C-alpha cells in the first residue's frame, strides 16, 4: 500500500454507513477511483466538510492497486463545487459530463481527460444561464473526443467521399460518423441536415453556434452516441434530467 496525492475532482458520493461515505473521483494520476472516507459524515456535520460534488483539489489516499475501493486520507479542496450545486441547471449539466466519465471506466489514467473535464466544469459554473445548454453540448462532444470517440463528419463513413455542404446525411452510430446522401438513403440513423452538421462541427470545436437550432435533437444525438460507444447501450439518466430541467422535454 502506498500513499498517493493527485489532483482530483469529486464526481459522485454516497453514504455508506452512519459515519462514512464512498467517493468517486476522477484523478489526474490514477484515473477514476473510488475511496472509502471513514468518519467524514460526522466531521461534515461539524462544519468541516468540503466534500461537495464537483469540488476540485488534491486527493490523498492509501492506494492498493489490486483493490477497487481505496482508503481516503484527505481531500484538500482548491475550488469548491458548491456554486454548481446551487443552480439546478448547471448541476444537471455538470452531471451529464460526470456520467460520461463514470461510465467510460477506462483502465488507464488520462491527464487529458482530467484537464478536459475540469475545464468543462469551470465553464458550466461561469457561463451565463442562457448559454448552459450550448456549453454542455460543446463540452460533451469535446469530452467524447478526448475519450477517443470523435465522430467523423467530414467524409462519408461508408464510401469515404468528401461531403457536400448541402447534402442531407444520416448519422451511422456503429461507424461513428455520417453517411453521404447516397449511402444514407436506406439507413435508419438520424437525419443530419446541412445546418445541423455545421452546428455539430462548431460544437466539436468547443464553440456554441450563435443560434443553436434544435437543442433537443443535439442532446439526443450526443446521448445516443455516448450510449452506443461509451456506456455499453445503457441509457444515461443525467441526460433525461438535464433535458427536463432545461425545458427540452418532448
C-alpha cell at 226: 455516448
* Residue ranges in 59-118 that form contacts with Zn ion under rule CB under 5 A: none
Could you tell me which residues are beta bridge partners of residue 177?
A: 152, 172
Alpha helices by DSSP H, 108-214: 111-126, 132-146, 181-184, 194-204
Stretch that binds Zn ion, among 148-156, 169-177, 223-231, 234-242 (CB under 5 A): 148-156
> Any contact of residue 180 with Zn ion (CB under 5 A)?
yes
Cβ(109)–Cβ(30) below 8 Å:
yes
Stretch that binds Zn ion, among 44-52, 180-188, 202-210, 239-247 (CB under 5 A): 180-188
> Any contact of residue 155 with Zn ion (CB under 5 A)?
no
Stretch that binds Zn ion, among 5-13, 42-50, 174-182, 218-226 (CB under 5 A): 174-182
> Any contact of residue 157 with Zn ion (CB under 5 A)?
no
Cβ(50)–Cβ(63) below 8 Å:
no
Q: For residues 211 and 23, what is the distance between their CA atoms, to the nearest angstrom?
A: 39
Residue of the chain from 48, 112, 159, 195 that contacts Zn ion (CB under 5 A): 159
Could you tell me which residues are beta bridge partners of residue 12?
A: 24
> Any contact of residue 178 with Zn ion (CB under 5 A)?
no
Closest contact distance (angstroms) between CB of 173 and Zn ion is 16
> Any contact of residue 169 with Zn ion (CB under 5 A)?
no
Q: For residues 79 and 211, what is the distance between their CA atoms, to the nearest angstrom?
A: 32
**Which residues contribute to the site for Zn ion (CB under 5 A)?**
156, 158-159, 180, 183
Amino acid at each position: 500500500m502506498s500513499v498517493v496525492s493527485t489532483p482530483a475532482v469529486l464526481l459522485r458520493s454516497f453514504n455508506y454507513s452512519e459515519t462514512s461515505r464512498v467517493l468517486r473521483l476522477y484523478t489526474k494520476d490514477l484515473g477514476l477511483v473510488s475511496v472509502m472516507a471513514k468518519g467524514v459524515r460526522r466531521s461534515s456535520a461539524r462544519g468541516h466538510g468540503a466534500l461537495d460534488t464537483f469540488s476540485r483539489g488534491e486527493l490523498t489516499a492509501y492506494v492498493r492497486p489490486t483493490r477497487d475501493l481505496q482508503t481516503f486520507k484527505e481531500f484538500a479542496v482548491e475550488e469548491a463545487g458548491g456554486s454548481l450545486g446551487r443552480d439546478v441547471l448547471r448541476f444537471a449539466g455538470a452531471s451529464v459530463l460526470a456520467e460520461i466519465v463514470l461510465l467510460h471506466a477506462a483502465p488507464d489514467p488520462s491527464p487529458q481527460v482530467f484537464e478536459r473535464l475540469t475545464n468543462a466544469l469551470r465553464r458550466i459554473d461561469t457561463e451565463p444561464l442562457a448559454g448552459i445548454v450550448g456549453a454542455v453540448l460543446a463540452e460533451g462532444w469535446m469530452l467524447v473526443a478526448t475519450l477517443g470517440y470523435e465522430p467523423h463528419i467530414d467524409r462519408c463513413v461508408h464510401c469515404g467521399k468528401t461531403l457536400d455542404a448541402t447534402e442531407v446525411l444520416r448519422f451511422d452510430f456503429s461507424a461513428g460518423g455520417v453517411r453521404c446522401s447516397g449511402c444514407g438513403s436506406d439507413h435508419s440513423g438520424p437525419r443530419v441536415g446541412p445546418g445541423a452538421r455545421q452546428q455539430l462541427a462548431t460544437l466539436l470545436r468547443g464553440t456554441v453556434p450563435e443560434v443553436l437550432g434544435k437543442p433537443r435533437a443535439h442532446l439526443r444525438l450526443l446521448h445516443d452516441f455516448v450510449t452506443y460507444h461509451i456506456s455499453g447501450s445503457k441509457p444515461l439518466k443525467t441526460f433525461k434530467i438535464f433535458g427536463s430541467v432545461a425545458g427540452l422535454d418532448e
